[in-house]
Structure 1
């Protein structure tokens, strides 16, 4: 069995005052286009996961997040065909600025019990049950 490279990505479950979770639709031209995901992205070499998530949320949603507002929650570990994905999911209930769609095809605030109604990448799917049970 050939070892696959491990890719570390980070994601956030942004939770609004009504208990809804933000999901983002992957744009056309990207791998897994049209599927819904939790915002976040790849951790650069030498970058801490929390710093990467703060950077990604600014790039994707134009919001400012303090590291103290990121609560490690659960992680996904999934083997794709050419790499293995390791993805910590952080909960975040506080940020500065309005959420603005900058990179995704669409954004949607969804009740936790409705997250499974949206098609997601295989690595994101197991996270839905955790969020539904917690929230």
Structure 2
């Protein structure tokens, strides 16, 4: 499912009390104000799971434990590919450092959020999981 010619990017669907955490981008300008699952690129020396735990600690100052991957992957432009894992908070509260805002979104609110295009393919499975 994953394309080895693309740089892997991982996102976290952090779950709490029937809601998922969404983070609002500030950069680049063309993406500012849109929402995403927080995360980032997988470095050559780490697994996708390790990368996601590291990225969440860097971006949100909290620790998560991954519980499984949502099905599929989505291209980001011509060079990157996104996978999204579900996780739960195990330490701290999310405080954005690279985003200007975070919010908890329920299954019924998923369509009210202006998600980045690569994040959208994961919403149907996430909606079912939240319900």
TM-score per shorter chain, which class? 0.7 to 0.9
Residue 130 of structure 1 corresponds to which residue in structure 2? 125
Do residues 37 (structure 1) and 54 (structure 2) align?
A: no
2:23–2:35 contact (8 Å) kept in structure 1: yes
Residue 51 of structure 2 corresponds to which residue in structure 1? 52
Aligned residues: 128
Which runs of 5 or more structure 1 residues have no equivalent in the other structure?
none
Deviations 1:77-102 (A, max 9, x none): 334543242x2211112320121111
Instruction: Measure the CA separation in 1 of the matches of 2:125 and 2:111.
Output: 11
Deviates more, 1:7-16 or 1:25-34: 25-34
TM-score, normalised relative to structure 1 = 0.83
Residue 14 of structure 2 corresponds to which residue in structure 1? 14
Residue 93 of structure 1 corresponds to which residue in structure 2? 88
Q: 1:29 to 1:96 in 2, by over 3 A?
A: same
More strand by share: 2
* CA RMSD after TM alignment: 2.1
TM-superposed deviation, 1:115: 1.1
TM-score, normalised relative to structure 2 = 0.85
TM-superposed deviation, 1:12: 0.9
User: Aligned match of 1:74 in 70, 75, 78?
Assistant: 70
1:70 aligned counterpart, secondary structure: strand
User: Aligned match of 1:105 in 92, 100, 106?
Assistant: 100
Deviations 1:51-89 (A, max 9, x none): 101110011100023xxx31222244334543242x221
Instruction: Measure the CA separation in 1 of the matches of 2:46 and 2:29.
Output: 23
2:45 aligned counterpart, secondary structure: coil
Instruction: Measure the CA separation in 2 of the matches of 1:105 and 1:12.
Output: 17
